[in-house]
A and B are shown apart, each in its own frame.
Chain A
Amino acid sequence: MVNKFIFILYCFVTLLQYDLCSGVGLTEEMHDKKIITLEQQDKGKEIHVKCGDLIEIKLEQMGGAGYQWYVDNLDKKHLELLSEEAKAAAEGRIGAPVLGIWRFKATKKGSTEIRMNHYRVWEGKEKAIEHFLIKLVVE
């Protein structure tokens, strides 16, 4: 009975993984994933990545002035946000921008995009001072 249950569960999980990323095995070590780093100057570009690749976006944000970058309606079918962090962009200066770093994982084949907006949360997205858009083709 236990064997049967284990076998069904194994099949279910394998099928799910196969559906998300064709050719991707159960563990990440089984494919050769790449890290694609994108910055402000890459805004508007179309990027081709492979399923399982990591996309790292680095943008300066004016936290001391109340501004942050916010990911706009992430496409969770194709992408997963793995982490966010902030690093000093200009050392020692009060009010200096910090470098925000977002890491996404391509989880399913297809076309999608990442949209981000730089604004004060109490003023709303419509008053964003910058926008960032990357078109992604997950192969």
Chain B
Amino acid sequence: MFKKKLVLLGLVLFVAVFLAGTVSFADELSDIQAAIKAKGAKWVAGETSMMKISKEERKKRLGLILDLSPIEEQPVALQEQVTVVPASLDWRNNAGDYVTPVRNQASCGSCWAFATTAALESATVIAHSWSGVNLDLAEQILVSCDGGGGDCGGGYIGAASSYIRNTGLPEETCFPYRALDRYDNPPVTCDQACPDWWTSTHKIDSYSGISATVDAIKNALNTNGPLVTTMAVYNDFFSYTGGVYTHVSGGLAGYHAVLIIGYDDPGQYFIVKNSWGAGWGSTAGYGLEKGYFMIAYSQMSGDVSFGASTLAYSIPSETSTITVTYPNGGQDWQAGTPQTITWTYTGNPGSSVKIELYRGASFSRTISSGTPLANGSYPWSIPSDVVFGTDYLIKITSTSSSTSDMSDSYFTINAVSAFSASGLVTSGGAGLSGVTMTFSRVSGTGTIPASVITTAGGNWSQTGFQFGTTYKVMPTKSGYAFSPAYLNFSNDSIGLNFTGTQGSVTVTYPNGGQSWKAGSTQTISWTYAGNPGPYVKIELLKGGILNRTVSSQTSIGSGSFSWKLHPKQTPGIDYRIRITSTSDSTVTDTSDSNFTILKR
């Protein structure tokens, strides 16, 4: 009996094991999501089209822990300050944005180069107060040059940091990232960087090792800025799309270097910039750019080992200055005249400056919202509407920092003075009266004098034009076209002359002698010259008296009009056609002689 039971038990177990091997399991994403739920984790595993890989096909990976210790040069331990730090910090929004955009290391194992380069970029923009500046430095130098710290097969953050301290990195344009190294085929070697690149690099003064504790990392983030660190990557991390990451499932996939850019005590997490492009991860609560993640403080212990090797970079803040050199007090300027504002600078106050005009302590107007700092000068045509004052100052401010300077003392701006303009309008060799001369501004802000009308001799003149403004004068008179159509002028101007051509219209058909039958369709045609206006009216005269209006408004440009005569039009031998401009009744013409309309 006992033997039978044993056989039965064995068979049942055998069948159970066999059948278990044939069961299809949920896909990996579901597994991760289930693990997140089961462990009460606070992050989101996102769906991708390629994630339907069964658990059977991807059983848990059994990772071998990598040795993190080799660092070619041990960093100097930081004097960790016991300071009161804020409850949260994000260098993307810390009185400015000091985190450069997320990069993509692609399929090269160069995370160590991207993390250290990102730290150098942030340290540099912080030191120079270059908020929002996309300083893009060349990771490829570290990957391709001897001593750079590694290659596409991985590297050391300590060695890379030493290289950044001793040699530094040029800008990305000098050696664009290729995701290949000097051992690839074809090799991407150091000599492919731009010539003499080492003469123009960004460096750090020093770097320091940070203890693997939350407090030490928070202190260093506040003191130094973003930090290079390392972590173990598990398979579930690839599916991260938001929330606070904790490892919940999946085997080890490798070791990784990233940049810590902030923390949040209420949420108990660090904010981290990755180098897998902006298609992965989340915005981590700020801005629109993805590529970041939040990771729980708890992940510093346990298998993720977040923060196991952490480095802080130091660059002393540079004293940058801008000095207004002209006008620097005592100048006597005239509104409406061109002047040149000049300045000098030291250090790196930014790439461009804003130039403003002040009256005493009060802002008056912006002269330029962004001019290259390196120009050292700005040509300013003082607008005509600047009022008289003896207390003007120029202020020049960096657009990316608070570095600024003002004129040492007041200078004067005198109100703009006026000038006059005059000219003559003729037509057929004689002065043309009644022409309206209208003025407008081409550039500048000077006042616009009222229109004037030419005298009996065709002359016109006007005053009240302001220096510093370019004006346009345009003649108009009904029925006339003018050459030139308008003239621009500035300063005192005489001889602003125009020639007018009177508009005319000529009936060409019927022009006398024609015989039309009542009810027939006829084409009336005409020509015109000058500027008689856009439309004409067409009338039928009998014996010189208006008989009927053929068309009250027809485009003059058409040159003809198709007219169906009334079937009962009174026969007669004394008809003529009259064509008149609708905008100027003096422009008119009538058939030269009579034509006949016959009975139908």
Contacts and interface: CB of A to CB of B under 8 A. Distances in A.
B68 interface: yes
Interface string A33-58: 00000000000000000000000000
B254 A2 contact: no
Contacts of A81: 56-59
B156 A2 contact: no
A117 to B, nearest CB: 9
Contacts of A13: 11, 14-15, 18
Indicate the size class of the contact surface on chain B: 35 or more
B11 A10 contact: yes
B254 A63 contact: yes
B46 to A, nearest CB: 7
Interface string A57-71: 000011111111011
A9 B11 contact: yes
Contact of B50 (A3, A70, A80): A70
A95 B150 contact: yes
Contact of B111 (A64, A122, A125): A64
Nearest to B54: A74
Given A16-B18, A93-B153, A95-B154, A65 B108 contact: yes
Nearest to A126: B50
Nearest to B115: A94
Contact of A65 (B51, B107, B279): B107
A94 B256 contact: yes
A124 B64 CA distance: 27
A70 B48 CA distance: 14
Interface string A1-17: 01100100110010010
Indicate the size class of the contact surface on chain A: 35 or more
A121 B239 contact: yes
Contacts of A92: 66-70, 156
Interface string B222-256: 00000000100101001100000000000111111
Contacts of B15: 9, 13
Contacts, number: 172
B63 A68 contact: no
Interface string B106-132: 111111100000000000000000000
A136 interface: no
Interface string B1-45: 000100110010011001001000000000000000000000000
A67 B233 CA distance: 11
A66 B239 CA distance: 10
Contact of A95 (B7, B14, B48, B110): B110
B256 A84 contact: no
A86 B60 CA distance: 10
Interface of A: 2-3, 6, 9-10, 13, 16, 26, 61-68, 70-71, 74, 76, 80-88, 90-98, 100, 119-125, 129
24 contacts: A6-B7, A10-B11, A13-B14, A61-B253, A62-B108, A63-B254, A64-B256, A65-B109, A81-B59, A85-B61, A92-B66, A92-B67, A94-B230, A94-B256, A95-B111, A95-B254, A96-B255, A98-B252, A100-B61, A120-B280, A121-B48, A121-B238, A122-B279, A124-B49
